[in-house]
Amino acid sequence: MTHTQPSFQGIIGVARCDITPPAGIYSRNWGAALHDVADGIQRPMTLTCITVQAKRDDPPLVLIGADLGWWKSLDDEWFVRGGVLDALSIDAGRCMFCLSHTHAGPSVNREDAAKPGGQHCALYLEKLRAASIRAAQHALSTAVPATLDWRYGKCDLATNRDLRDPDRDRCIVGFNPAQPADDTLLLGRITDEQGRVLGTIVNYACHPTTLAWDNRLISPDYVGATREVVETHTHAPCLFLQGASGELAPAEQYSGDAALADSHGRRLGHAALATLEAMLPPATQLVFKGAIESGAALAMWKREPDEASRVLAVEKVEIELDLKPMPTTAQIKEEWQRTEDRVLKERLWRKLGVRQIVGDGTTSRKGLWSWRLGDALLFGHPFEAYSVFQTRLRAKFPSMPVVVMNIVNSYAGYLPPRELYGLDLYTVTVTPFAAGSLERFTEHALQAGERLQALAPHAAPAGTRK
């Protein structure tokens, strides 16, 4: 009888770049905000890259996490990610670019050029592209034989944010103490052959909406303090990956107080460190050695070496989803030009961006990226999926760590569960996707996971399947 720690062994590189924008950049992310540009920087904004290969000469898998909110343009997103693909000569299935979803970040939309501070947006996008390429190249060039292993933990920072308004017949977005929230944290640890930590991965689902309309600083929100706590202990970069947080956020949020964001981040950071401390050494398992008779019969478990999996596999599929009836791009633009209300104008601008991303048709095809890294499964997609997406996947594959990432390789809006459609709920109102889209997308992810799980634990690396 053995207890193993899920892992992968191969060639792994880790790199970090600063992507802090100029303080005066356009950064209006809230309809209620009375300002358009940031006054300063609360914490540096970073981009972290991990490259993974089974063998040195294999094309890498590239996992990038950046302190950014969401994409508003397919062209802008592709300008950045496409640069990485070209620089490393890899296909689109081999790169997942995940945004932390901070709501206190800069605009990455070149169409904001005419707005206050918008003159910085195009130059910032070029900086972001260059930083992404530089981080990926550096991670790949400095990659070493290493082990990536995983452990689940818990953190109660995230709460349900779909609340019935006690004063009016509607739903509002904020802490709902009556509903449970997924508190799962997944920690990955990368160590070299000498046991030195090269990097960590924190996968957690919680909206970074601590800082809102009263905040006038560029900030990674709680993610910044989470990284600081973990990196102070490990002396290695920490990559944050936003989980399926469609209905999850801190109980205390919508603040202008950066100290509250840091407090939230320390909670998650210490939970991550608690999980890290519970891990076995790399490539180690616990083996049952029998019972010792004492006052009671005592089970004896001992540490022994374990062979880590070396399998790498990739799938990328396009899934066609039905769209709700909604105005065309031209109609939204016309309405935006007519109104002078700042809040409504901001909502229409976001609605326009989503419509442009999904197109003017009645359906839209969106990507699902599925990877197998040793004993772990990774799923990335461009939506803000509700947490049921990750809980179903993890229930389906209980013996494998399952990393789930929202807002990967573009942005396409919310995916709420079917039963919420018909409610006056923000996530249902703003999503362009029809009822049943989350369920359809989840079924495709489950099927992809089954195919990847079926690979032999130590199979040769597989190429991209489309």
Confidence of residue 339 (pLDDT cuts 50, 70, 90): confident
What was the pLDDT predicted at 109?
94
| For the chain, percent of residues with pLDDT exceeding 90 | 87
What was the pLDDT predicted at 457?
63
pLDDT over 90 (residue 352)? no
Tell me the average pLDDT across 294-301: 95
Confidence of residue 330 (pLDDT cuts 50, 70, 90): confident
CB-based contacts of 198, cutoff 8 Å, min separation 6: 12, 14, 144, 146, 190, 191, 192, 236
Sole residue written with tokens 């889209």: 437
What was the pLDDT predicted at 360?
86
42-80 burial, b for 16+ CB within 10 Å, e for fewer?
Answer: bbebbbbbbbbbbeeeebbbbbbbbbbbbbbbbebbebb
In angstroms, the CA 327 to CA 72 distance is 17
What was the pLDDT predicted at 456?
67
Confidence of residue 169 (pLDDT cuts 50, 70, 90): confident
pLDDT digits (tens, 9 = 90+) for 400-411: 999 999 999 999
CB atoms within 10 A of CB 292: 10
| For the chain, percent of residues with pLDDT exceeding 70 | 98
pLDDT digits (tens, 9 = 90+) for 126-152: 999 999 999 999 999 999 999 999 999
What single-letter amino acid sits at 382? P
What was the pLDDT predicted at 465?
53
CB atoms within 10 A of CB 466: 11
What was the pLDDT predicted at 463?
47
pLDDT over 90 (residue 335)? no
Q: pTM value?
A: 0.94
pLDDT over 60 (residue 466)? no
406 with 242: CB under 8 angstroms?
yes
Tell me the average pLDDT across 151-178: 95
In angstroms, the CA 312 to CA 406 distance is 22
Q: What is the CA radius of gyration of the chain?
A: 22
Strand partners, 40: 217
In angstroms, the CA 173 to CA 163 distance is 6
Tell me the average pLDDT across 237-266: 98
In angstroms, the CA 445 to CA 404 distance is 10
pLDDT digits (tens, 9 = 90+) for 91-122: 999 999 999 999 999 999 999 999 999 999 99
pLDDT digits (tens, 9 = 90+) for 418-435: 999 999 999 999 999 999
pLDDT over 90 (residue 359)? no
CB atoms within 10 A of CB 328: 11
pLDDT digits (tens, 9 = 90+) for 12-54: 999 999 999 999 999 999 989 999 999 999 999 999 999 999 9
Confidence of residue 350 (pLDDT cuts 50, 70, 90): confident
